[in-house]
Amino acid sequence: MKFVDEVRIKVASGDGGNGAVAWRREKFIPRGGPAGGDGGWGGDVILVVDPQMNTLLDYRYIREHRARSGEHGRGSDQNGLSQPALELRVPPGTLVKDAATGEVLADMGEACPTFVICKGGRGGLGNMNFATSTNQAPRFAQPGTKGEEKELQLELKLLADVGIVGYPNAGKSTLISRISRARPKIADYPFTTLTPNLGVVGWRGKSFVVADVPGLIEGAHAGAGLGHQFLRHLERTKVLVHLVDPLAPGEGRGPRADLDAIDRELALYSKELARKPQVIAVTKMDVPEAEEKLALLKKSFARRKKKPLILAISAVTGEGIDPLLDQVAKVLRGEEPGKERLAKKKVGKPRSRASR
């Protein structure tokens, strides 16, 4: 299915129908009195979250959505028909903005499953409503009010708990296909994945949503490769799995250089993204030269006081996948990645304090 994450649409609610001016005219009933019915209400436009959707593709094709207007009132005390609301379904994670001002009107998701974006016009009252003892034949009725019209910018930011980042060809899609039922295209060339894939991972009684986004490369902030256009889908994640390709072919590349380049790109996109906890994993460990590259990568952090936890996995053989998911689950519970090491160091401190 085609993936679309940004669209501009026009929506309009229905106008209210006018109230009618009419008179009761029947044989043998002189001065029958006012009999104009009320106008019906125009339909609202309502946005409704549909958890089955994960693209705004439908709105690419149909860009104007109008609810129907209420019917006008009629004679013989007949009210016009009110119109049902027009429901527009959107995927969870859709940000609804006013296209002109950029103001966020709604953030569609679990907290906001439905949202009335345009209220339908009110139906006008017919002249039968205005009869009083002093004015028994009102020659006026109320007009219906106009519906609203808005131009909206819909932006989809996928609701995933975990994002997989890394260079193209690192094995991101292979990993998501290993841990979930997502079946993205996998191939031995860069930029196989051109749009994000989502997968649901069930792990030790819990489940979380993982997003495999297209690969990042050095200079993506300036438009290299696919640029930063898909990074918005990582904004709502709670943890990033930073996948490192030990083979890293090409000039200026290598596990450590790749790791730093991706981190730079994330930071150039936003501070928040750069601050997200990461679980670093070197993949393709089934390949013979991987072991040596992993050792080199670990060595490159030797001088650091706080060494990052680097996991070793193979999405092909399944090696190291369980510890990886454990780490991810841990961060999702709100703990720091690789906390065991830190915890061990901390144990010494309180003891020394107590002995003082």
Ligand X SMILES: Nc1nc2c(ncn2[C@@H]2O[C@H](COP(=O)(O)OP(=O)(O)OP(=O)(O)O)[C@@H](O)[C@H]2O)c(=O)[nH]1
170-174-179 Cα angle (round to 5): 125
Q: Site size for ligand X, by CB under 6 A?
A: 24
Determine the Cα–Cα distance for residues 95 and 149; give it in Å rounded to an integer. 18
Write each residue from 122 to 161 as x if it is in contact with ligand X (CB under 6 A), else as -, in one continuous string.
Answer: ----------------------------------------
Cβ proximity to ligand X: between 140 and 191 the closer is 191
What's the closest the beta carbon of residue 331 comes to ligand X, in angstroms?
21
Contact 70, 120 (CB under 8 A): yes
Q: How is 189-217 classified by DSSP, letter by letter?
A: SS----S-EEEEEEETTEEEEEEEPPP--
Q: Residue 51, Cα to own-chain centre: how many angstroms?
A: 11
Interface pattern 197-236 for ligand X (x via CB under 6 A) = -----------------xx---------------------
Among Mg ion, ligand X, none, residue 103 binds (CB under 5-8 Å by kind)? none
Q: How far is the CB of 291 from Mg ion (least distance, A)?
A: 24
Question: Measured from the CB of residue 304, what is the shortest distance to ligand X in angstroms?
Answer: 27
Q: Is 84 in the site for ligand X (CB under 6 A)?
A: no
Residues 155-194 that bind ligand X (CB under 6 A): 166, 168-174, 186-188, 190-193
Residues in Cβ contact with 285 at an 8 Å cutoff, skipping those fewer than 6 apart: 246, 291, 294, 312, 313, 314, 317, 319, 320
Interaction of residue 270 with ligand X, rule CB under 6 A: no
245 phi, psi to nearest 5 deg: -90, 115
Examine residue 315 and tell whether it contacts ligand X (CB under 6 A): yes
188 binds, among ligand X, Mg ion, none (CB under 5 to 8 A by kind): ligand X
The region of 45-53, 129-137, 188-196, 223-231 touching Mg ion under the rule CB under 5 A is 188-196
β-pair partners for 152: 9, 98
Adjacency order of strands within the sheet including 197-203: 197-203, 206-212, 162-165, 239-244, 278-282, 310-312
Phi, psi of 165 (to 5 degrees): -120, 155
Tell the smallest beta-carbon distance from residue 165 to ligand X (Å): 10
Spell out, one character per residue from 164 to 183, where the chain touches Mg ion: x when CB under 5 A holds, - when not.
---------x----------
- Interaction residues for Mg ion, span 32-51 (CB under 5 A): none
Residue choice 54, 82, 177, 193 for contact with Mg ion (CB under 5 A): 193
User: Which of 99, 107, 96, 119 has its CA nearest to residue 15?
Assistant: 119
Residue found by looking up tokens 């909206």 in the block: 152
Residue 326 has phi, psi (to 5 degrees) of -65, -45
Quick check: 244 binds ligand X (CB under 6 A)? Answer: no
Residue owning tokens 């994000």: 196
Q: Which stretch binds ligand X (CB under 6 A): 10-18, 109-117, 312-320, 323-331?
A: 312-320
Which residues lie near Mg ion (CB under 5 A)?
A: 173, 192-193
Which residues lie near ligand X (CB under 6 A)?
A: 166, 168-174, 186-188, 190-193, 214-215, 283-284, 286-287, 314-316
